[in-house]
Structure 1
C-alpha cells in the first residue's frame, strides 16, 4: 500500500495556495537523502518557502519533493524525501499539518516475494 503522507502534503499545499497564503515546509535536514542548503539549517531542520513565486519546477511526488530555488543568490536543486517532511503549513496562520517521523519509514517495505508452487498441481474434477 502506498503512503498517505505525499497525498496529504499535496492537499495541504493546494489548500494553502487556494487561500493566497505562503506554504512553508519544515524538513529534517539530516535525512540521508535530503539535498538542502546547509547554511540555513538550524538544529538539524530547515524551513523552506515553497510558494510558486519562490521556486521553479516544483514537483510534489510520492517519494520526494523537488524544486529549483535561489539561496543567497545561488541557484540550487532542492530534493526533499517525503519521509523528511516534518510539517507543511501556511506561514501567515501556522495552519497545516505536522507529521511524526516514526509513522513514516524512510523506505517502503519491499513487496513480498512470490514463490512459484513446488511439485504437482493439486487439481480435482468437480461434477
Structure 2
C-alpha cells in the first residue's frame, strides 16, 4: 500500500500558515469511529478545529493521526483525529487551503 501524502501536506500547510501569521484550521469528518472530539461542537457530522500552536497543547501530526489537547468551555480536552478524517486544512483569515478526499467510516466515538 502506498504511503499517503496527506499528513505531509497537512504538516507543511500548518507550518506555512503559522509562518505567515495566519491561523490553521482543519475540517474534520466526525463519522469516523476513532474521531475523539467534544460532541457539543459537531454540526452536520463535521467539526472545525483551530490547530494553531497557541491554541493547542502537545500537537502531534503523525502519518496516521493528529492529536492534541485544547480548551473547550474552559475544560482541557484530548482530541484525536485520524488523518483520513481530515477533509481540509485552511487559514481561517482568508479560507485558502487544501482539501482531501475522505473515505466513509460510520460510528461516532465522541466525548460528552
| TM-score for both structures, normalised by structure 2 | 0.89
1:96-119 CA-to-partner distances (Å, cap 9, x unmatched) read 1011214xx87xxxxxxxxxxxxx
Which residue does 1:96 correspond to in 2?
A: 97
1:16-40 CA-to-partner distances (Å, cap 9, x unmatched) read 1110000000000121000011000
Which residue does 2:11 correspond to in 1?
A: 10
Q: Decide which structure has the larger Cα Rg and report it.
A: 1
Instruction: Flag structure 1 segments of 5+ consecutive residues without an equivalent.
Output: 107-127
Distance 1:39 1:63 in 2: 25
Alignment of structure 1 residues 52-71 onto 2, 5 Å: 52-71=53-72
* Structure showing greater relative contact order (alpha-carbon pairs closer than 8 Å, 6 or more residues apart): 2
Instruction: Flag structure 2 segments of 5+ consecutive residues without an equivalent.
Output: 106-112
Distance 2:67 2:102 in 1: 19
Alignment of structure 1 residues 1-127 onto 2, 5 Å: 1-102=2-103
Moved beyond 4 Å, runs of 4+: none
Higher strand fraction (1 or 2)? 2
Distance 1:37 1:90 in 2: 22
Distance 1:6 1:34 in 2: 16
Distance 1:34 1:15 in 2: 25
